[in-house]
Amino acid sequence: MSEILTPHDSGAMLIDGKAGAAAVDAAARAAAAELAGALGRQPALAVVLVGEDPASQVYVRNKIRRTEAAGMRSIEHRLPAETTEHDLLTLVAALNADDGVDGILVQLPLPAHIDARLVVESIDPAKDVDGLTARSAGALVQGAPGLRPCTPSGCVWLARQALGDLTGKSVVVIGRSILVGKPAALLFLEQNCTVTLAHSRTADLAKVCAGADILVPAVGRPEMVRGDWIKPGATVIDVGINRVEADGKARLVGDVAFDEAIESAGFITPVPGGVGPMTIAMLLVNTCAAAAARAGLSTPNALSDILGG
Ligand code: GUN
Do 191 and 101 fall into the same domain? no
Rounded percentage of the chain residues whose pLDDT exceeds 70? 99
Supply φ then ψ for residue 183, to 5 degrees: -65, -30
Instruction: Out of 108, 127, 147, 178, give the residue to mutate to test ligand 1, the one with the largest number of ligand atoms within 8 Å of its CB.
Output: 108
Q: Are residues 250 and 179 in the same domain?
A: yes
In a domain, 192, yes or no: yes
List C-alpha distances in Å: 172 to 15, 88, 158, 178, 276: 18, 37, 15, 16, 19
Instruction: Give the C-alpha separation, 84 to 14, whole Å.
Output: 45
- Cβ contacts of residue 287 below 8 Å, gap of 6+? 28, 43, 44, 45, 67, 72, 102, 103, 129
Residue 108 Cβ contacting ligand 1 at under 6 Å:
yes
113 plus 198 within the same structural domain: no
Range of the domain at 89: 40-124
User: Has residue 118 been placed in a domain?
Assistant: yes
Establish if 96 belongs to a structural domain. yes
Domain check: are 194 and 255 in the same one? yes
Q: What is the rounded average pLDDT of the residues 13-34?
A: 98
286 Cβ below 6 A of ligand 1: no
> Which CATH number belongs to the domain containing residue 118 in this structure?
3.40.50.10860
> Do 223 and 255 form a contact (C-beta atoms < 8 A)?
yes
Do 47 and 163 fall into the same domain? Answer: no
Please tell me the pTM assigned to this model.
Answer: 0.97
Same domain? 194 vs 240: yes
Pair 191, 116 in one domain: no
Give the tens place of pLDDT for each residue, 222-262: 999 999 999 999 999 999 999 999 889 999 999 999 999 99
Indicate if ligand 1 lies below 6 Å from the C-beta of 130. Answer: yes
Nearest atom of ligand 1 to the alpha carbon of 279 = 6
Domain annotation covers residue 183: yes
For the chain, give the number of residues. 309
| pLDDT at residue 43 in the model | 98
Domain boundary among 90, 124, 158: 124
At residue 309, the pLDDT reads 64
User: How many domains are contained in the chain?
Assistant: 2
Residues 192 and 228 in one domain: yes
Query: Which member of 16, 25, 42, 107 is catalytic?
Result: 107
Statement to judge: residues 115 and 161 lie in one domain: no
- Cα 94 to Cα 45, 132, 154: the distances in Å are 14, 19, 30
Distance 232 CA to ligand 1 centre (A): 33
CATH code, domain carrying 271:
3.40.50.720
My answer on whether 48 and 104 are in the same domain is yes
Instruction: State how beta strands 13-15 and 5-7 pair.
Output: antiparallel
